[in-house]
Structure 1
């Protein structure tokens, strides 16, 4: 697999880089190591049949049908729009799985059924967004009275379950807590997600979330994508024991292939040396058209992109057994073995991340996507050495969605201009989390919670301490870069010269992380 995914460039060779809602085709130094995502594994075509097989042959518990009885209260929860990325082509996996589960509940005589979208502290999903995830049939039957977004600030519908031995408070959605059976339907796009994290983030509250979404936990996680070496996941495991002691939970987890882009953008799935004449024409025409298109139109067009993901596995039952198998299947699809770290990590920054679906990629989300997620896409040790440099391509402009990210604007303008030190920034968190205006916008509009921008910064704090520089090539707003603590360069050669100077080396080893699709490196 590694031979297929790793390539060293020749003199004068050009590589494709995502550049927000456009693409760049840039010459890179000879010998640049380029690492690509593994090819998609074979997808399961008969999703409903596979779902039936999984829920009737679960791990660690009786079949779902054997757990049902008339008169019981059942809650089914699903991931929100932050997964997968880009959103799936219809029918979404959540729809197909829900239809099987709901038929099973009906056959068991269960009528007291609620469907809750596990938004956590994310923004509420709109009706059209929910329809895309669950399909018209489910939406028409359940929405809005029995199909709705979780509300982490609805004090009357939150239930305290207990505390861990370290005093970590576990509280979740009241309807879910009071149910005889809680079914969670998850799509695992990365090894960071799923398992205990699904409920303890998606159906939780700020009071619970802050135990694992904090500077200490993230600074003591060697990799967010490798749960055994992640303090984030160690906290979740402790809290998960309290959850399991109090709840009857049936987990349904799925894994996806790397088939990320529709046919119109098929060239994004290929290695540059394998592009045919049509792919090259498509790439250059797309770049030209996008360059002439207004930014708002480009953004809307890209947000309409739907991924042809295929399901590679589905497993159901008790959390520990299910998630162990899920992680095994994620790694089977995504891991690329890599020999040695590099001085410089090079990457383009795509238009989408977990928190700007149907929205805008603001500067804090760029920190989260690059210093948070991109840097952490490894098992063992990072792809770039300690003290190394990350070079990114992105226009880096001051863009905020006022409806979705109001607290981000204040965080950027007030907090980051005072300090960039995560431990000092954390002192402002409670103020934002308890801000009545932000709470109202979270509950009654479509805003992320007041605490959410803090998590975006925390997610990147380890990488920003580990690296000597983050350089953004072709950034358009120097003030934004300065506020984030990033350096800028007008061209890739200039950025490489800056890296050489920072590292006090005349030559540097460079690795391009070619993404998306999403993949993980296992560095030896």
Structure 2
């Protein structure tokens, strides 16, 4: 297979040594070792054709030496706002909102940075005589966090003091807990948590693991409702968001920014954003983040044992073992203050860790899909979420132009089993059985089915009282892939369940060799091929 002759990688901002930069893009030759593919809770080793290109994540950046000092500095010298201490006073109503369990993935080793930041905020609030304080997990339309999950995020001390009356999950369907803040100039509804909207100060504590998150999106989405979220989580907006990882070129971000302007005009907001490195694998498994050619003999032996063990494990036990894993992330930045300047610095930190510059698109892009995404923490990556992971997230991990050319093919490895978590994803089952049996077209799905699922009283009840995702959530997961569906000529899953792949509208193959032969039927003979070697998380800065 041939590929574009020029292959170059650079890093922005905090550059890594040249040898590390060059290691991020590797050309496959006849003596190259097999390439690691994630496939759900298992691993695959595949030999890619000679001349293929592999894009690896950058190595982890060094974290801050003193995280607590960095938090204090951010609160004392915020960007575009007065110091936090000067904003706190006796008798005020203070609300602290924070990101839910959809990130980071895998969960970070304790202590969680959200709890560390909130500890510092509370210390200053108590010193200022503030008594009316509430903590809200900003769920949007995600499932409610359990008590144990809340405790893990904020820490035992905060949990014991605030839960459950003053530490709780946002409820986007509470008729008495939501206020209407009006409409944007584009007629987009802006609804928000009543407690947050009526606060004298709202503090938002964020973790940014991708450039898509943070900024105005934190409050407008995290504390919003279906009416406000549907303004940008729709097929038209998703298809016109040509790069979710480049907010300046994303219609979704344009919409959330307009909503954010309305929110910021209604309530003072002090944003605290934190960034992590991509150190996902701990201890003896750290080699999984390295190019296979750099594995030592001991690491090769460790991998062989790991693969043999996971292949033989009972599927439920294997899933449980993977979901118990945590990542030794280091904190790379803490910034606080006004939304604009804070998020600008955040995006610089994310780019410094994650941006990989790649010259030229490919006819075929391959990738292995891991076991966990933002919406199946301690759960199951059901077929709808597999589609979202592949076409909604992996396809969109780029800036500039997609890594795969228009009309090209993406090949994923994943079992795509027809499995659903009965508590977390009840509306997903019905979406899979009812909606996808009728049509796969996102626009038709939106027109014919969305409203009935979004307003279904049973789904609403499960969202509010159990731990179910909102009834409309599977629709939004399908819409996330709308741009990818429009851009690609074909999607193939290696090892995917035949019935599930047919229901999703994708093709499947038994082996990578078979998948490549199928792809050549779409893109022609002697295609260029790039393997997107994720995780750890990164995005490609692609120059056509």
TM-score when normalising by structure 2: 0.95
Q: Aligned to 1:514, which of 506, 517, 533? A: 533
> 1:461 aligns to what?
482
Cα distance in 2, alignment partners of residues 312 and 64 from structure 1: 21
SS of the aligned residue for 2:389 comes to helix
**1:44-59 maps to which residues of 2 (within 5 A)?**
44-59=64-79
Cα distance in 2, alignment partners of residues 466 and 37 from structure 1: 24
Number of residue equivalences: 522
Query: Does residue 415 of structure 1 match 2:435?
Result: yes
Q: Aligned to 2:39, which of 9, 12, 19? A: 19
Q: Is the 8 A contact 2:221 2:256 kept in 1?
A: no
Report how far residue 240 of structure 1 moved: 1.1
Q: Per-residue displacement from partner, 1:235-278 (whole Å, max 9, x unpaired)?
A: 11111111111110000001110111111421211110110112
> 1:290 aligns to what?
310
> 2:184 aligns to what?
164
Cα distance in 2, alignment partners of residues 291 and 223 from structure 1: 36
> 1:87 aligns to what?
107
Q: Per-residue displacement from partner, 1:422-464 (whole Å, max 9, x unpaired)?
A: 1100021110011000000000000000000000000001101
Cα distance in 2, alignment partners of residues 403 and 171 from structure 1: 27
The 10-residue stretch of structure 1 (264-273 or 143-152) with the greater mean CA deviation from structure 2: 264-273
**1:69-84 maps to which residues of 2 (within 5 A)?**
69-84=89-104
Unaligned runs of 5+ in 1: none
Report how far residue 328 of structure 1 moved: 1.2
SS of the aligned residue for 2:372 comes to coil
Cα distance in 2, alignment partners of residues 350 and 379 from structure 1: 22
Q: Aligned to 2:153, which of 121, 126, 133? A: 133
> 1:63 aligns to what?
83
> 1:471 aligns to what?
492
Cα distance in 2, alignment partners of residues 264 and 279 from structure 1: 8
Cα distance in 1, alignment partners of residues 392 and 284 from structure 2: 29
Q: Aligned to 1:429, which of 436, 450, 465? A: 450
SS of the aligned residue for 1:297 comes to helix
> 2:397 aligns to what?
377
Cα distance in 1, alignment partners of residues 65 and 327 from structure 2: 16
Unaligned runs of 5+ in 2: 1-9, 11-20
> 1:447 aligns to what?
468
Q: Aligned to 1:325, which of 342, 345, 353? A: 345
SS of the aligned residue for 1:337 comes to strand
Q: Aligned to 2:55, which of 17, 35, 42? A: 35
SS of the aligned residue for 1:241 comes to helix
Cα distance in 2, alignment partners of residues 168 and 142 from structure 1: 34
Cα distance in 2, alignment partners of residues 59 and 457 from structure 1: 37
> 2:503 aligns to what?
483
SS of the aligned residue for 1:488 comes to strand
Cα distance in 1, alignment partners of residues 360 and 48 from structure 2: 20
Q: Per-residue displacement from partner, 1:262-306 (whole Å, max 9, x unpaired)?
A: 114212111101101121111111111111111100000000010
> 2:258 aligns to what?
238
Report how far residue 161 of structure 1 moved: 1.0
Q: Aligned to 2:282, which of 245, 262, 265? A: 262
Q: Aligned to 2:359, which of 307, 326, 339? A: 339
> 2:4 aligns to what?
none
Query: Does residue 142 of structure 1 match 2:157?
Result: no
What's the C-alpha RMSD, in Å, of the aligned pairs?
0.8
Query: Does residue 303 of structure 1 match 2:347?
Result: no
Cα distance in 1, alignment partners of residues 130 and 509 from structure 2: 61
Cα distance in 2, alignment partners of residues 367 and 286 from structure 1: 27
**1:264-283 maps to which residues of 2 (within 5 A)?**
264-283=284-303
> 1:523 aligns to what?
542
SS of the aligned residue for 1:497 comes to helix
TM-score when normalising by structure 1: 0.99
Cα distance in 1, alignment partners of residues 502 and 407 from structure 2: 20
SS of the aligned residue for 1:446 comes to coil
Cα distance in 2, alignment partners of residues 357 and 170 from structure 1: 28
